[in-house]
């Protein structure tokens, strides 16, 4: 091992090209390291600037005193919306409630040849005590009846229209697929 180390030293002293190549390689490695550090520094500076801007925006938002009022207003609106959700004892009652609500809505709007079908109720994942029922409403009528039906659905936030199909004709036909949401009586309050 000592002999090989001595031969490397001797070759180093003897060969000017080896010293130049080693120096050039070392110089290239140093330039590469400096460039990598510069790139990393630039990324860090950009990230810091973005974080600083976000912090300043958050400080400005925290300085506003209207947050408590906004939170209270949002809670009031949420409570009002939740109070419109009908409470039922189970899935069968939820289906019956949705069928009755859609039948009354269609009759009030002036739809004729009204047919309402509901499917089974199912609990919603992540929302204990909340049931979802899907229903299909079909009927015939004029544009005024269709408009009244749409307005009636919009007044009921616990109903969500999945699909609406209106066919022109004398009389026109309307077909809706609606999801209704119901609270189970005695279930925990919604999160």
Q: Which of 64-78, 104-118, 148-162, 168-182 has the lowest mean pLDDT?
A: 64-78
Whether residues 99 and 30 fall in one domain: no
Q: Clarify whether residues 104 and 47 are in a common domain.
A: no
102 plus 55 within the same structural domain = no
Same domain assignment for residues 116 and 177:
yes
Residues 46 and 96 in one domain: no
| In a shared domain, residues 37 and 127 | no
Structural domain contains residue 77: no
Give the contacts of 101 (CB within 8 A, at least 6 positions apart).
Answer: 156, 159, 180
Output the pLDDT for position 187: 61
Considering the domain architecture, whether residues 95 and 162 belong to the same structural domain is answered as yes
Q: What pLDDT is attached to residue 115?
A: 93
Q: Are residues 54 and 133 in the same domain?
A: no
Mean pLDDT of the chain: 87
Residues 90 and 54 in one domain: no
Answer whether residue 189 shows pLDDT above 60.
no
> Where in the sequence is the domain holding 14, given as residue range(s)?
2-60
pTM passes above 0.95: no
What is the tally of structural domains in the chain?
2
For residue 191, pLDDT beyond 60:
no
108 and 55 share one domain: no
Q: What is the pLDDT of residues 17-68, one digit of tens each?
A: 888 999 999 999 999 999 999 889 999 999 999 999 999 988 887 777 787 7
Question: 90-124, pLDDT tens digit by residue?
Answer: 889 999 999 999 999 999 999 999 999 999 888 88
Residue 1 has what pLDDT?
64
């Amino acid at each position: 091992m000592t002999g090989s180390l001595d031969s490397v030293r001797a070759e180093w002293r003897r060969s000017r090209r080896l010293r130049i190549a080693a120096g050039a390689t070392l110089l290239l490695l140093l330039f590469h390291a400096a460039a990598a550090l510069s790139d990393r520094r630039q990324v860090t500076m950009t990230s810091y600037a973005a974080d600083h801007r976000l912090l300043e925006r958050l400080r400005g938002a925290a300085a506003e005193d209207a947050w408590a009022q906004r939170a209270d207003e949002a809670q009031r609106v949420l409570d009002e919306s939740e109070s419109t959700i009908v409470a039922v004892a189970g899935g069968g009652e939820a289906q019956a409630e949705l069928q009755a609500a859609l039948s009354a809505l269609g009759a009030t709007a002036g739809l004729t040849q009204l047919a309402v079908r509901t499917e089974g109720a199912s609990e919603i994942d992540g929302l204990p005590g909340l049931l979802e029922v899907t229903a299909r409403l079909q009927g015939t009528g004029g544009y005024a009846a269709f408009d009244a039906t749409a307005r009636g659905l919009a007044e009921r936030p616990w109903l969500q229209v999945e699909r609406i199909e209106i066919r022109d004709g004398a009389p026109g036909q309307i077909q809706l697929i609606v999801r209704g949401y119901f609270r189970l009586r005695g279930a925990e309050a919604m999160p």
